[in-house]
Amino acid sequence: MLPYPTPARPDWRTVLSLPVLVAALGYFVDVYDLLIFNIVRVPSLTELGLDEKAVSLVGGRILNFQQAGLLLGGILWGILGDKKGRLSVLFGSIITYSLANIACGFVGSADAYAWLRFVAGLGLAGELGAGITLVSEVLPKHLRGYGTSVVASVGLLGAVAAFLTVNTSGNWRLTYFIGGGLGLALLLLRIGVLESGMYKQLRETTVRRGNFGAFFTNSDRFLRYLRCMGIALPTYFVIGLLATFGNEFGKAMGIQEAILPGKCVMYTYIGTAAGDLFSGLFSQWLRSRRGAIGWMLAFTALFVALFLSGLIDSATTFYIVCGCMGFGIGYIAMFLTVTAESFGTNLRATATTSVANNVRATTLLTIPLFQSLKNVPALGVLGAGATVALLCFTLAAWSLSALGETYGKELDYSEGAGSVQ
């Protein structure tokens, strides 16, 4: 006997509506443009005249500029999404990062490159949160999991497209032009997308919208906000640390063949795309967001333990495990759906957009912690990775255990009270 009643077969014509498809394609372009610098960092900076040491140092600085843009943009676009509407973010963010990426194709100095990646990060911060918020509000409550799952699984394939584009073209400037062009082309599709009816009704009231400070003035709301971030910590631990530094882990394991970080990231994202599709369907079958995320966390923990055990002895197995870890963290759409379902309409975009980018930026903490711990003789690379993993999974388990179930929750309500300012 199933632990939850089996839901009725979904109406895929409703699930695959224009808002869902446009949000999915938007996230596809978002992921493509987000990862371009990671892929072309070395050839682009080398062409700008930097030596090997400078490529590493300046490349890290430019990446930090992009991450800073994501952090700031996550707050700004979230507030704008609640104050002015979800569509304002979907249009404004894609124009911002598309033009910034096109400009990156003309860049001639490292300083200009850094500031353009900051602007690109600022724009990229708005895409996913606004898309998930809109899809959550326009779909019937029993279909939300299907819709957001489609958005994430299609969108994450943008990572694969980015790698293939770079490898095929062999021209880093062209890859920026393609990414920016894809974004501008997507604007034509967005013209036909309508604003969330739920948000339109809220706009006619005097309820205060987009107040970021509201997360810090109420303990229950603050804990909900932290827990929504906490359940996602393993996702960017796997992507930003284990996959990105795959070459270091492969060397620590004694694997003879050189491990390519780019290939690790690609296999991880392929797994994540499949996992996001599965987790959405799984949560609908279970009729539980918490249950689906719990199983995905357990699956991820199993393969992270295998990854850090030191038992992997070949590059092929290494990449396969990266794909399996990617599948496990394939609940990115799910944790953002939970975030959207955890807050009222007047704070929903602010919460979902800022949480999405706060989680992306946790690498600013996990990577320095890993780099510090790996120099401890008793730990080394594998021990340092295991220590950071234990911290991330412990916080994720605590967050999930304390977070309420949101499956099937009615979303037409507001947080607190007060007048628009």
- Tell me: the pLDDT tens digits for 360-410? 888 888 888 988 898 888 899 899 999 999 999 999 999 999 998 988 888
Asked if the structure places residue 103 within a domain, the reply is yes
Identify the burial level of 141 via C-beta atoms within 10 angstroms of its C-beta, where 0-12 means exposed, 13-18 middle and 19 or more buried: middle
**367 and 279 in a common domain:** yes
The 3-state DSSP class for residue 419 equals strand
Mean confidence (pLDDT) of the chain:
86
**237 and 184 in a common domain:** no
Summarize the confidence of residues 273-298 as an average pLDDT: 91
Domain residue limits at 36 = 17-188
Residue 49, sorted as left (phi over 0), alpha (psi -120 to 50) or beta, turns out to be left
**171 and 52 in a common domain:** yes
Asked if the structure places residue 346 within a domain, the reply is no
Other Cβ atoms within 10 Å of 70 Cβ, number: 24
**126 and 38 in a common domain:** yes
Domain count, the chain: 2
**266 and 180 in a common domain:** no
Helix (H) or strand (E) holding 121: helix 110-124
**258 and 132 in a common domain:** no
Entry pTM: 0.83
Task: Please identify, among 188, 222, 254, the residue that sits at the C-terminal boundary of a domain.
Answer: 188
The CA distance from 123 to 116, in Å, is 11
Q: Among residues 221, 53, 208, 27, which one has the least CA distance to residue 134?
A: 27
Asked if the structure places residue 383 within a domain, the reply is yes
Instruction: Residue 183: give its domain's CATH number.
Output: 1.20.1250.20
**143 and 48 in a common domain:** yes
Helix (H) or strand (E) holding 96: helix 86-104
Identify the burial level of 401 via C-beta atoms within 10 angstroms of its C-beta, where 0-12 means exposed, 13-18 middle and 19 or more buried: exposed
Residue 8 clears pLDDT 60, i.e. is over it: no
Q: What's the pLDDT tens digit per position in 160-169?
A: 888 888 888 8
Q: Structure tokens of 413? A: 């309500």
Asked if the structure places residue 71 within a domain, the reply is yes
Q: What's the pLDDT tens digit per position in 53-89?
A: 777 678 778 888 888 899 899 999 999 888 888 888 8
Which pLDDT does position 421 carry in this prediction? 36
**238 and 168 in a common domain:** no
Task: Please identify, among 153, 188, 223, the residue that sits at the C-terminal boundary of a domain.
Answer: 188
Task: Please identify, among 155, 188, 221, the residue that sits at the C-terminal boundary of a domain.
Answer: 188
The CA distance from 130 to 216, in Å, is 22
Asked if the structure places residue 56 within a domain, the reply is yes
Q: What's the pLDDT tens digit per position in 313-370?
A: 899 999 999 999 999 999 988 898 899 899 988 898 899 999 988 998 888 888 889 8
Angle of CA points 146, 152, 153, to nearest 5°: 85
**280 and 381 in a common domain:** yes
- DSSP assignment of 189-237, as one string? HHTTPPPPHHHHHHHTS-B----GGGGGS-HHHHHHHHHHHHTTHHHHH
**270 and 183 in a common domain:** no
The CA distance from 238 to 234, in Å, is 6
Asked if the structure places residue 207 within a domain, the reply is no
Q: Please report, to the nearest 10 degrees, the dihedral formed by the alpha carbons of residues 63, 92, 356, 335 taken in order.
A: -140
Summarize the confidence of residues 142-165 as an average pLDDT: 83
Asked if the structure places residue 3 within a domain, the reply is no
User: Contacts for 384-390 with beta carbons within 8 Å, 24 or more apart?
Assistant: 385/241, 385/242, 385/249, 385/307, 385/308, 386/308, 388/237, 388/241, 389/234, 389/237, 389/304, 389/308
Which pLDDT does position 67 carry in this prediction? 83
Asked if the structure places residue 4 within a domain, the reply is no
**125 and 56 in a common domain:** yes
**264 and 167 in a common domain:** no
